[in-house]
Amino acid sequence: MNNNYTLLIIEDNPDNYYLMNFLLSKHNFNIIGANNGLDGIKIALQKVPDAILLDIQLPEMDGYTVAVELKKQKSLKNIPIIVVTSYAMPGDREKALASGADGYIEKPINPETFVSEISQYLKPK
């Protein structure tokens, strides 16, 4: 589908990471991963991906804080962050967006529409 897009997935659950990695790789995305927030920020600064998929429940530093930290970085300021989370209670979406996230996708993801949902946040190259 889209070539040369690099996506960073920050996700601690290996099954979920595997699922998203598999699905997006099949659609020709370059995937890099991190299983915690601090690593995610580090990798994001190094690689500067085209978009970041961010889980909320993460060890040590939660997704909201990670989003805030990522948006603080000058080089990452304009990189879209899409929160992909199992938190689906009222206010969770608002909280994610308030932390600086650009998109919010509730788990379970719909594998048929997931890729196109992600794609809409990507800037055309």
Partner 1 sequence: MNRPFLYQTFLIINLKILCMIIITFSFVMLNAENQIIKVGIYNNSPKIFMSPQKQASGIFIDIIEYIAEKENWKIIYVEGTWEECLHNLHTEKIDIMPDVAFSPERERLYSFHKTPVLSSWSQVYANQGTTINSILHLENKTVAILKSSIQEQAFLRFIEGFDIKINLLSLKSYTEVFRAVYDKKADVAIANNFYGLQHIKDFDLFETGIVFNPSSLFFVTKKNTNLQILDTFEKHIQHLKNNQKSEYYKSLNKWTTENVSYQFPLWAKIFGLIIITALIITTIAGFILKKQVKLRTKELEKSNLEMEQKVKTRTKELAEAMEKALQADQLKSAFLATMSHELRTPLNSIIGFTGILIQELAGPLNDEQKKQLALVQKSSRHLLALINDILDISKIESGQLTLDYSEFNLDEVMEKTTKIIEPILQNKGVKLITNISHKVDSIYGDKRRIEQILLNLLSNAAKFTEKGDIKIYCTYNKKLCNIVIQDTGIGMEKDELSKLFKPFSQIDKGLTRKYEGSGLGLSICKKLIEKMNGNIKVESTIGKGSIFSIEFPYKKETINE
In the list 2, 13, 35, 36, the residue contacting partner 1 (rule: CB under 8 A) is 13
CA distance linking residue 90 with residue 14, whole number of Å? 27
Given a contact cutoff of 8 angstroms between Cβ atoms, the answer to whether 118 and 53 are in contact is yes
Q: Is 112 in the site for partner 1 (CB under 8 A)?
A: yes
Ordered strands of the 6-10 beta sheet:
30-34, 6-10, 51-54, 81-85, 103-106
- Interface stretch with partner 1, choices 11-19, 62-70, 96-104, 117-125 (CB under 8 A): 11-19
Q: Is 16 in the site for partner 1 (CB under 8 A)?
A: yes
**What mask of x and - would describe binding to partner 1 in positions 21 to 50, judged by CB under 8 A?**
-xx--x------------------------
Given a contact cutoff of 8 angstroms between Cβ atoms, the answer to whether 79 and 70 are in contact is yes
CA distance linking residue 100 with residue 80, whole number of Å? 9
- Interface stretch with partner 1, choices 20-28, 29-37, 45-53, 58-66 (CB under 8 A): 20-28
Binding site for partner 1 (CB under 8 A): 13, 15-16, 19-20, 22-23, 26, 57, 86-90, 106-112
